Amino acid sequence: MPTDPAATTPAADAADADARPQAAGPRAARLGLGTAAVGRPGYITLGRADDLPAERTVEALRERTHALLDAAYAAGVRYLDTARSYGRAEEFLAQWLAEHPEAAAEVTVGSKWGYTYTADWRTSGVAAHEVKEHSTAVFDRQIRETRALLGPHLDVYLVHSVTADSPALTDPALHRRLAGLAAEGVRVGLSTSGPAQAEAIRRALAVTVGGRPLFTAVQATWNLLETSAAPALAEAHRAGWLVVVKEGMANGRLAGRNATGPDTAALRTLAARTATAPDALALAAAAAQPWADVVLSGAATLDQLTSNLAAAEVVLGPEDLAPLAAMAEPAEDYWRTRSSLPWA
């Protein structure tokens, strides 16, 4: 990743540069750790029943989250991702930071607002696990909640799951609030989802407050099955934005235990030829994109994390990436499949 991101464009000032993480070691290059899979008992990752403790108590998931953070930090990972809607993930992360002041001084912490967790620590019988609302009222409440937990450790704050029709792209009152947060030194941005990610990113690129770009970070879904946002992410990178890749494993579809169908044949072929696990190859393919600053691991177990972090040691050439590119699905098909994945 760039060592001086502020130099990539005049629009990225020194305060923004402080929030762009630096590589901390060879195994950590371009890799971060996300907490979506371990901050709450229910999520949509395939094979989740095999990954988590049988009793998904708050304490069990706290211990799992802290174990993953310990291992990731020891391996050199320096970008940590969470969100208000990830159950108690912000709380778990905040406790870990308090117990590891030396790590707290080195890591970049990103969180997200705009979804409210509503499952009340249940995995079934829930009408909605999270509810989205991009209003000033929700921002005001959730920034207070995030600050109460993460305090000065908050480096990046994203509007969660922005689509092209989100009021987060058009609400002047919200923009003023976000600009105020940016003035405090927090990098303000958005995460995106859905088949029109590229449109949402481009609309966000055009948002200004007081003649200055408002958003300077994006967390977007990109993986071997869903590549449609790549051109817009390249534009964001050229504008000096921090670009974070989420769902690089396609919610488990690219993990070795699930990559068994014709849609992943090219990945299995490369894995066999290089003696590399499919998950490491999938994340390495994301890290190979020249616009990607951070690629998140969503590991729920220490074994998964170890395998994911091996991506940092994988070098993929054009001859490797070309057959993998053929795996991409139409964006509408990909998101239709994703929306059908059960919470478990």
- Report the pLDDT value the prediction gives residue 30, as an integer from 0 to 100: 85
Question: What's the sign of the alpha-carbon dihedral 120, 71, 104, 25?
Answer: negative
Contact 214, 188 (CB under 8 A): yes
Per DSSP, helices labelled H in the chain are 14-18, 48-51, 58-75, 89-99, 101-104, 136-150, 172-183, 197-205, 230-238, 265-274, 278-287, 302-309, 318-325, 331-339
Calculate helix-pair angle for 58-75, 89-99, nearest 10 degrees.
50
pLDDT 10s digit of each residue in the chain, 344 long?
Answer: 333 333 333 233 333 333 434 434 445 658 999 999 999 999 999 999 899 998 999 999 999 999 999 999 999 999 999 999 999 999 999 999 999 999 999 999 999 999 999 999 999 889 899 999 999 999 999 999 999 999 999 999 999 999 999 999 999 999 999 999 999 999 999 999 999 999 999 999 999 999 999 999 999 999 999 999 999 999 999 999 999 999 999 999 999 999 999 999 999 999 999 999 999 999 999 999 999 999 999 999 999 999 999 999 999 999 999 999 999 999 999 999 999 999 99
241 touches 233 (CB < 8 A) = no
- Tokens matching residue 169: 């792209």
Residue bearing tokens 């408002």: 214
Sign of torsion, CA 108 217 31 119? positive
Give the torsion sign (CA, 203, 208, 212, 215): negative
Residue 223, SS3 per DSSP: strand
Q: Supply the pLDDT for residue 14.
A: 32
For CA atoms 304, 118, 152, 95, give the dihedral sign: negative
CA-to-CA separations, 81 to 275, 281, 291, 297, in angstroms, rounded: 30, 21, 19, 10
Task: Please name the helix (run of DSSP H) or strand (run of DSSP E) that holds residue 221, with its range, or none.
Answer: strand 217-221
* Structure letter (DSSP) for residue 331: H
Classify 247 in phi/psi space as left (phi over 0), alpha (psi -120 to 50) or beta.
left
| Amino acid residing at 96 | W
Residue 17: per-residue pLDDT: 36
Encoding tokens for residue 25? 């070691």
3-state secondary structure of 214: coil
The residue written with tokens 């305090």 in the block is 151
Tokens for 28? 């950590």
Radius of gyration of the chain (CA): 19
The pLDDT of residue 29: 58
How many Cβ atoms sit within 10 Å of the Cβ of residue 260? 10
Q: What single string gives the DSSP state of each residue in 260-301?
A: -SGGGHHHHHHHHHHT--HHHHHHHHHHTSTT-SEEEE--SS
pTM (global) more than 0.85: yes
Q: Tell me, what's the pLDDT at 98?
A: 98
Instruction: For residue 34, list its beta bridge partners.
Output: 81
Contact 69, 119 (CB under 8 A): no
For tokens 């249940």, what's the residue? Answer: 122
| Amino acid in the structure at residue 70 | D
**Nearest residue to 294 (alpha-carbon basis) of 21, 36, 111, 8:** 21
Residue of 288, 290, 284 lying closest to 270 (CA atoms): 284
